[in-house]
């Protein structure tokens, strides 16, 4: 057994989108992986990401200081991936992104953990109009105060088979003949394609996290993680249209319509759009250029066009698959 194989990593939020990729990556690298989840039964799928006994699931919430302290005991590294997209009851942005992050950082410092990686988000800013972005900034400063050597990663919107962003538009293309994006100006004027994003591949984010937990080189630093290209919202929807082969109409509509829709959609059991998300959409998600990025990890960012069609093809019409299957092969 190598020295690396005896190391223990505690991952908060390991059952989520990034988390499941990270659990697999760390297990492949020989780490023992302890995943903190609120519902261990729902997270049993993670067990097969490693050898028998390599991945353990422990019940706990980031909001419960005792469970956080117990979860980091004996860990060499800790990663906090916990985040929420909307507020519901006690699950406020402040409670999860700021207070929860502080609980993890304080417990990790107290337990003598060597490496802490905290996942924030591009646009984290106390002066942002979005409460999500404000709470992410509050979380970053709480982490820095409690654990100065933490590595803070701010990803842009992330793509990968289980993502929430591209899959949502794929699903919309499957259902609706017209798919809107929001813009402040007329479609063909500068900025008429809507807000700008720099999507980053989940595999690249996980590669950066695994490097940050494995050595001291990235300690105490903050990084912005983004893909190789900036797209406006219309370009993103065109990409989804191509990948799903749906040929939907993509139209720009003013933000006040988004705000009105959000007033209703925020009350769905899983909100499709909230007023705070409309504020985030307006800002977009592009690197500031003032912080180091994936290149500081020696990672060449993966292009969205190389990956997105591989999983958005699930939203293609059945008819399409049938037609392809029934097309006679040349020479027959
Ligand atoms: N995905 C993106 O495009 C993106 C972009 C920028 C930043 N980020 C940030 O990256 C992080 C991970 O994102 P993700 O997309 O992987 O999120 P995700 O799929 O929603 O996963 C979030 C995880 O947090 C867990 N969780 C929620 N509340 C918890 C609590 N009170 N205690 C313990 N665990 C709790 C969830 O587990 P349950 O099953 O128990 O709910 C889930 O495992 C988040 O901080 C997010 O803000 C994501």
Do the domain assignments include residue 311?
A: no
Higher pLDDT, 329 or 74: 74
Q: How far apart are CA 111 and CA 299, in angstroms?
A: 31
pLDDT in tens, 222-281: 999 999 999 999 999 999 999 999 999 999 988 888 888 888 888 888 888 899 999 998
CA of residue 154 to ligand 1 center, whole Å: 13
Lookup: tokens for 38: 């609120």
Q: Whose CA is nearest to atom 39 of ligand 1?
A: 15
pLDDT in tens, 68-115: 999 999 999 999 999 999 999 899 999 999 999 999 999 999 999 999
Q: How far apart are CA 137 and CA 76, in angstroms?
A: 26
Q: What are phi and psi of 34, to 5 degrees?
A: -110, 120
Q: How far apart are CA 16 and CA 295, in angstroms?
A: 25
CA of residue 281 to ligand 1 center, whole Å: 19
Q: How far apart are CA 210 and CA 85, in angstroms?
A: 24
DSSP 146: H
Q: How confident is the model at residue 202 (pLDDT cuts 50, 70, 90)?
A: very high
Q: How confident is the model at residue 320 (pLDDT cuts 50, 70, 90)?
A: low
Lookup: tokens for 300: 């060449």
- The helix or strand, by DSSP H or E, that contains position 319, with its residue range, turns out to be helix 318-326
Q: How far apart are CA 157 and CA 225, in angstroms?
A: 9
CA of residue 119 to ligand 1 center, whole Å: 9
Task: Say if residue 156's pLDDT is above 80.
Answer: yes
Q: How far apart are CA 80 and CA 71, in angstroms?
A: 12
Do the domain assignments include residue 178?
A: no
pLDDT in tens, 8-42: 999 999 999 999 999 999 999 999 999 999 999 99
Do the domain assignments include residue 36?
A: yes
CA of residue 253 to ligand 1 center, whole Å: 30
- What is the reported pTM? 0.93
Q: How many CA atoms lie within 13 A of 144 on its CB side?
A: 12
Q: Whose CA is nearest to atom 1 of ligand 1?
A: 158
Do the domain assignments include residue 331?
A: no
Q: How far apart are CA 254 and CA 252, in angstroms?
A: 7
Do the domain assignments include residue 263?
A: no
- Mean pLDDT, to the nearest integer, of 181-198? 82
pLDDT in tens, 161-180: 999 999 999 999 999 999 99
What is the predicted pLDDT for the residue at 323?
55
Q: Whose CA is nearest to atom 20 of ligand 1?
A: 16
Q: Whose CA is nearest to atom 23 of ligand 1?
A: 13
**CATH number for 142:** 3.40.50.720
Task: Count how many domains the chain has.
Answer: 1
Task: Say if residue 319's pLDDT is above 60.
Answer: no
Q: What residues make up the domain containing 63?
A: 4-159+198-228+285-301
CA of residue 83 to ligand 1 center, whole Å: 4
Query: With a 6 A CB cut-off, is 81 part of the ligand 1 pocket?
Result: yes
Query: With a 6 A CB cut-off, is 19 part of the ligand 1 pocket?
Result: yes
* CB of 67 closer than 8 Å to CB of 104: no
What atom in ligand 1 is closest to the CA of residue 158? Answer: 3
DSSP 191: T
Residue 329 CB burial class (10 angstroms; 0-12, 13-18, ≥19): exposed
Do the domain assignments include residue 114?
A: yes
Q: How confident is the model at residue 1 (pLDDT cuts 50, 70, 90)?
A: very low
Could you report how far apart the first and last alpha carbons of the chain are, in Å?
56
Do the domain assignments include residue 108?
A: yes
Do the domain assignments include residue 110?
A: yes
Task: Say if residue 216's pLDDT is above 60.
Answer: yes
């Amino acid at each position: 057994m190598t020295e690396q194989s005896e190391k223990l990593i505690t991952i908060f939020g390991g059952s989520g989108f990034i988390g499941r990729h990270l659990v697999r990556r760390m297990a492949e690298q020989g780490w023992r992986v302890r995943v903190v989840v609120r519902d261990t039964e729902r997270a049993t799928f993670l067990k097969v990401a490693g050898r028998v006994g390599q991945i353990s699931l422990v019940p706990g919430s980031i909001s419960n200081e005792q469970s956080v302290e117990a979860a980091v005991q004996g860990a060499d590294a800790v990663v906090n991936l916990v985040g929420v997209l909307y507020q519901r009851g006690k699950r406020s942005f402040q409670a999860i992104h700021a207070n929860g992050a502080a609980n993890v950082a304080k417990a990790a410092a107290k337990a003598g953990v060597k490496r802490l990686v905290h996942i924030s988000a591009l646009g984290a800013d106390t002066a942002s109009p979005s409460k999500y972005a404000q709470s992410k900034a509050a979380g970053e400063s709480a982490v820095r105060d409690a654990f100065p050597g933490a590595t803070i990663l701010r990803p842009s919107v992330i793509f990968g088979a289980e993502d929430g962003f591209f899959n949502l538009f794929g699903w919309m293309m499957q259902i609706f003949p017209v798919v809107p994006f929001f813009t402040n100006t007329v479609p063909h004027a500068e900025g008429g394609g809507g807000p700008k994003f720099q999507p980053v591949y989940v595999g690249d984010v996980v590669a950066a996290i695994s490097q940050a937990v494995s050595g001291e080189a990235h300690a105490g630093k903050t990084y912005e993680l983004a893909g190789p290209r900036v797209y406006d919202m219309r370009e993103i929807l065109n990409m989804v249209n191509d990948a799903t082969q749906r040929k939907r109409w993509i139209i720009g509509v003013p933000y006040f319509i988004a705000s009105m829709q959000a007033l209703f959609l925020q009350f769905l059991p899983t909100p499709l759009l909230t007023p705070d998300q409309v504020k985030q959409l307006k800002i977009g998600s592009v690197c500031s250029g003032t912080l180091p990025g994936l290149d500081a990890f020696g990672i060449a960012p993966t292009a969205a066009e190389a990956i997105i069609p591989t999983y958005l093809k699930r939203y293609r019409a059945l008819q399409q698959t049938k037609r392809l299957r029934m097309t006679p092969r040349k020479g027959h």
